[in-house]
């Protein structure tokens, strides 16, 4: 099984015009994807790869194809309907603001 086939995706946020996905590989956060759907039917995405999480830079084109095929129905990377920005990160953490008591 290829590295990309072992990624397990979890949707962490969805709005009418965007969604955020987290790809977990071997129990570690490996890739975060933010997708934004434009009124003209195109899509733009930011793909953040966590360094050392198991996805090689050489696998990026195949990863983008997979994201296009799995999460962007009706939009085709090969036909110019998708723009991706790829970011390589040394580490990633999620932070959530605390709610004030009485708020």
In the prediction, which pLDDT does 102 show?
64
Residues in the chain predicted with pLDDT less than 50, given as ranges, are none
Sign of the CA dihedral running 76, 14, 35, 17: positive
Q: Which two three-digit tokens encode residue 20?
A: 């955020």
Angle in degrees, CA 43, 47, 50, rounded to 5: 170
In the prediction, which pLDDT does 60 show?
94
Judge whether 44 and 36 are in contact, CB under 8 Å: yes
Angle in degrees, CA 41, 70, 72, rounded to 5: 5
The pTM is what?
Answer: 0.83
């Amino acid at each position: 099984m290829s590295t990309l086939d072992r990624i397990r995706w979890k949707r962490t946020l969805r709005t009418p015009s965007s969604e955020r996905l987290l790809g977990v590989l071997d129990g570690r956060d490996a890739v975060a994807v933010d997708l934004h759907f434009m009124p003209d039917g195109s899509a733009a995405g930011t793909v953040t790869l966590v360094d050392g999480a198991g996805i090689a830079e050489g696998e990026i084109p195949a990863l983008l194809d997979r994201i296009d095929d799995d999460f962007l129905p009706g939009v085709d990377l090969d036909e110019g309907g998708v723009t991706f920005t790829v970011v390589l990160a040394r580490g990633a953490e999620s932070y959530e603001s605390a709610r004030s008591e009485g708020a």
